[in-house]
Amino acid sequence: MRYQAVLDRVHREIQPWIGGGEVAHYIPELARISPHKFGMAVVTIDGQAYAVGDAHERFSIQSISKLFACTLAFQLLGNELWQRVGREPSGTAFNSLIQLETERGKPRNPFINAGALVVTDVLARRFVRAETAVVEFIRRLIAVPDVDYDPRVALSEMAHAQRNRAIAHFIDSFGNMRMPPDLVVEAYCRQCAISMSCLELARAGLFLANGGVAPISGERILDPSSTKRLSALMLTCGTYDAAGDFVYRVGLPAKSGVGGGILAVLPGDMAVCVWSPGLDTNGNSHAGVQALELMTTYTGRSIF
Binding residues (CB under 6 A) for ligand GLN: these are 62-63, 94-95, 113, 157, 164, 192, 257-258, 283
Q: Which is nearer to ligand GLN, 77 or 93 (CB)?
A: 93
Of residues 236, 230, 240, the one with CA closest to residue 67: 230
Of residues 16, 20, 13, 18, the one with CA closest to residue 37: 18
Q: Which is nearer to ligand GLN, 81 or 258 (CB)?
A: 258
Over the Cα atoms of the chain, what is R_g? 18
Tell the smallest beta-carbon distance from residue 124 to ligand GLN (Å).
16
Report H helices in 108-223. 113-126, 130-142, 151-158, 162-173, 181-192, 198-209
- Angstrom distance (rounded) from CA 172 to CA 176: 5
Look at the alpha carbons of 60, 37, 272, 215 in this order and tell me if their dihedral is positive or negative.
Answer: negative
- Angstrom distance (rounded) from CA 58 to CA 225: 32
Q: Which is nearer to ligand GLN, 11 or 255 (CB)?
A: 255
Is there a contact between 170 and 153 (Cβ–Cβ < 8 Å)? no
- Angstrom distance (rounded) from CA 222 to CA 231: 11
Element (H, E) at 62: none
CA distances for 187 relative to 17, 155, 159, 184, 196, angstroms = 34, 11, 13, 5, 18
DSSP summary character for residue 146: T
User: Helices 113-126 and 162-173: crossing angle, nearest 10°?
Assistant: 70
Tell me the residue nearest to ligand GLN as measured from the CB. Answer: 63
